[in-house]
Amino acid sequence: MQKARNSIDFTPNTIQKRDFIPISFDEPVASDDANLAISPDQLTIILCTQGKKTLQINFSEYTLTPGSLAFLYPKSMWKIIDSSNDFNACYFSIKGTSAKEWNAFIDLDTVFSISSYIAKHPYTALMPDETRVIEEYLRLLQNRYKGNADATVIRFLLSAFTLELNRIFTLREKSNKSKLSRQEDILWKFLTLLKEYHTQQRSVNFYADKLYISPKHLSSVIKQMSHKTAHEIIADFVILSAKRMLKTTTMSVQEISDELNFANQSFFGKFFKQNTGLSPSSYRKQ
């Protein structure tokens, strides 16, 4: 079976057997589809060290230059817009970012604090001294991990790295007096709800009710902020989940249809073909 696009290869060669700490230092692979890709269940950190790269993350564009960080939060929608020939970066990914799993490394208050910041700020420009510290941590983590350091050493390094990130982010939050605009807040909350409910609900009315606004207002804001309709974004989430299951699992088309809460396989097939130009079976065989 083919490997899923837009995933980092967490094979036994990447994850050492020592206590299965699921981290990687490989560049994430962007989807080559016209639609945005959904990042897998892992947090990816990109620290630009040279050149320039423009990413679209959750429908907003960010240009990475030396000394800037980008975060691909689990289930973020993203793609590469442009990249200079000399672009270079440090990459770090950790799979499984639930509070329970992260608690093995750091206290829950810090976990929630850093998770909240990253979800709202997928791009951060660092000061020179901050850039140096983060790069040193990433290179040390990579050297010790690839040098087969004991799992306890890796955990302590992860804890220290996480605390350092949280220190930087906390300072940013205190110094940044501006808040998210109402439109940005609606878009972020809409995407958060989609991550949780897109396998169950495809109605704009459902998400509008959750946000305590009218479907018309939600549609207007989403169109203004993303240049896509709310229906199109919902379809993106559903289709990308379907693609992931078709490519990375042995579930039957009927089982995937059920998982995505379609009335029957026929409705799922029509929905998939309408949005991709292919039947689910044809896409799986590609």
- Dump pLDDT digits (tens) for 218-232: 999 888 877 788 998
Query: Exposed/middle/buried for 64, CB within 10 Å: 0-12, 13-18, 19+?
Result: buried
The first and second tokens of residue 33, run together, are 């589809």
Q: Which long-range contacts (CB under 8 A, 24 or more apart) does 190-194 make?
A: 190/218, 190/222, 190/230, 190/233, 191/58, 191/77, 191/233, 192/119, 194/233, 194/234, 194/237
Give the rounded distance of the alpha carbon of 74 from its chain centre: 4
C-alpha gyration radius of the chain: 20
Ranked by mean pLDDT, the top range of 43-47, 96-100, 246-250 is 43-47
Which tens digit of pLDDT belongs to each residue from 170-191? 887 766 655 567 887 788 788 8
Quickly state the pLDDT bin for 30 (edges 50, 70, 90). Answer: low
* pLDDT for 158: 87
CB half-sphere exposure, 5, CA atoms < 13 A:
18
Q: Which of 15-19, 102-106, 114-118, 195-199 has the highest mean pLDDT?
A: 195-199
Model pTM above 0.75: no
Give strand pairing partners of 88: 50
Residues with Cβ within 8 Å of residue 87, at least 6 apart in sequence: 48, 50, 51, 52, 53, 64
pLDDT given for residue 107 in this prediction: 54
Q: Which of 11, 73, 4 is nearest to 43 (CA)?
A: 73
pLDDT band at 96 (very low <50, low <70, confident <90, very high): low
Task: For residue range 118-163, list pLDDT tens digits in order.
Answer: 767 788 999 999 999 999 999 999 999 999 888 888 888 888 898 8
